[in-house]
Amino acid sequence: MTTSTDSEYQPNSKFLQPLTVPFAEITRRLLNVQTILQKNGIDALFIVQRVDLFYFSGTAQNGFLFIPAEGSPLLLIKRYLPRAQAESPLKHIVGIESIKEIPGLISDFYGRFPKIIGLEFDVLPVRTFHFYRRLFPAEKFIDGAGSILQARMIKSDWEIEQLERTAEMSRRTFEYMQTIIRPGLSEMEFAGLYETFARRLGHGAGLRVRDFLTEGYPWHVLSGKNGGMVGMLDSPASGAGTSVAFPCGAGGKLLASNEPIMVDLGFVLNGYHMDETRMFAIGSMPTRALKACRAAIEIHNAVLDAVKPDITVAELFEHSRKTAESLGYAEPYLGPPGLKVTFIGHGIGLELVEPPIIARNKPDRLKPGMVFALEPKMVFQNEFSAGVESVFTVTETGARLISKVPVDVFIC
């Protein structure tokens, strides 16, 4: 373990400056989704979810966004109008006191109310949907989430730049971990220390997740046997997570020398996420665990080498599985027998998990501009976990890592 002073890790103020999404970027996104709406026969989108609102308007203030299949969008803000006007480059921004004003404002602005409205069915509560169905004079409501997510799937150069800024903050945090990790810290205490450092750099802490059954949290530390825990835990203090109500993340186990320690960090800066995993050890790592960690890196690199435009995610998954098998790790790869997961990565951007998923039997094809978190991992039941996770983007010819954390095992 090395030592250092906090002065060596002062935040860089350029990363803490307020973000403004350029007008050209918003225009590109709107034209893209309008093309998709026209192909799908949807007259307009009514956007409620905050991430989608930010993506298409540049502001996450309390409001709603109406995007017609043709023409200018209308941003309706309940609170706070002056900030929304300062943040969003959209031309038509209107303050409202009540949601009930919206149908009339839309009809007045466009001369009519559209017949077919797309809503975010994947995240919209049933009660809210029924309220909108009674309020809006549309003839048909359909799921617009697919059109939205399709538009968000390909990242622009500007978005890649934001992800690279997040990656730099994540790199500095992983570097800091190496200076503070020591025996006797609990997993949770270690996580709290490096998360505090990350917050000083600008880490927003709250990770955005779309699935209502998924909770986003940035601190995941699994040391020694905690990495191999499957099923019920003997006690909250001896396993991953702090309680039966939240059995995930870091727990109360104390870090010890000469054991594998998995750290999975989710970092968010100005809305854009990184999701990275690296293996640590204090002093040394047992040979068996170190070999498994190196094998995970070999699988990781083999998948990256196979990435190219138009390859299916299922082909990548199968390539990773065959590589694990060839290295002698078929049994622990992606979980113990009977409990294996069927994916090795996921899209990432303004939300921690975005489509497509790199999974078995999925037909999605890679396109330049897609961004993924690749996470080949192994679980040695009741012993330890080994793995790695990095973020990459698909290029015209292959893959390029966005992650800046060295793809290595850190012996501190």
Mean pLDDT of 312-330: 98
Compute φ and ψ for 264, nearest 5 degrees: -115, 110
Structure tokens belonging to residue 389: 């996770």
- Rounded-to-integer distance, Cα 215 and Cα 352, Å: 10
Q: What is the pLDDT of residues 4-31, one digit of tens each?
A: 444 445 555 555 667 899 999 999 999 9
Q: What band does 241 get if pLDDT is binned at 50, 70 and 90?
A: low
Which residues 6+ apart lie within 8 Å of 40 measured at CB?
118, 146, 147
**What letter would DSSP give residue 408?**
S
This prediction has a pTM of 0.92
In Å, what is the CA distance from 2 to each residue of 182, 260, 277? 10, 18, 21
Q: How far apart are CA 44 and CA 125, in angstroms?
A: 20
- How high is the pLDDT of residue 16? 60
* Averaged pLDDT for residues 378-391: 96
Q: What is the pLDDT of residues 216-240, one digit of tens each?
A: 888 799 999 988 875 433 333 334 5
The predicted model gives 369-396 an average pLDDT of: 97
Number of H helices, E strands in the chain: 10, 17
Q: What is the pLDDT of residues 77-128, one digit of tens each?
A: 999 999 999 999 999 999 999 999 999 999 999 999 999 999 999 999 999 9
DSSP state of 183: T
Domains annotated on the chain, with CATH: 23-152 (3.40.350.10), 154-411 (3.90.230.10)
Cα(359)–Cα(5) distance, integer angstroms: 43
Reply yes or no on whether the pLDDT at 309 is more than 90. Answer: yes
- Any residues with CB less than 8 A from the CB of 177 and at least 6 apart, and which? 190, 194, 263, 280, 410
pLDDT given at position 237: 34
Rounded CA-CA distance 209/207 in Å is: 6
Strand-pair partners of 118:
45, 142
How far is the C-alpha of 135 from the C-alpha of 8, rounded, in Å?
57
Instruction: Read off the tokens for 375.
Output: 């996470």
- What does the alpha-carbon distance between residue 260 and residue 280 come to, in Å, rounded to a whole number? 6
Q: What is the pLDDT confidence band of residue 246, given thresholds at 50, 70 and 90?
A: confident
Q: pLDDT tens digit string along 174-226? A: 999 999 999 999 999 999 999 999 999 999 988 999 998 888 888 799 999 98
**What's the CA gap between 285 and 288, in Å, rounded?**
8
Q: What is the pLDDT of residue 229?
A: 74
**What's the mean pLDDT in 271-284?**
98
Low-confidence winner among 10-14, 28-32, 33-37, 377-381 (lowest mean pLDDT): 10-14
**The two three-digit tokens of residue 183, written as one number:** 């025996």
Query: 357 pairs with which residues across the strands?
Result: 346
Q: What is the pLDDT of residue 238?
A: 36
- Return the percent helix, strand and coil in the chain, to nearest 5: 35, 25, 40
Q: What's the mean per-residue pLDDT of the chain?
A: 92
Q: How far apart are CA 231 and CA 234, in angstroms?
A: 10
Q: What is the pLDDT of residue 15?
A: 56
Do the beta carbons of residue 267 and residue 169 sit within 8 Å?
yes
Structure tokens at 364: 């999605």
The burial of 257, by beta-carbon neighbours within 10 Å (0-12 exposed, 13-18 middle, 19 or more buried), is given as middle
In 3D, which of 316, 29, 312 has the Cα closest to residue 155? 29
Q: With bands split at pLDDT 50, 70 and 90, how would you rate the model's confidence at 2?
A: very low
**Residue 294 pLDDT > 50:** yes
Backbone angles phi, psi at 240, to 5 degrees: -70, 140
Output the pLDDT for position 350. 98
CA distance 327 to 357: 24
Per-residue pLDDT tens over the stretch 155-176:
999 999 999 999 999 999 999 9
What is the helix (H) or strand (E) element at residue 119, kind and residue range? Answer: strand 116-119
The pLDDT of residue 7 is 47
**pLDDT value of residue 14:** 57
Tokens of 353: 């998990």
Q: What is the pLDDT of residue 217?
A: 82
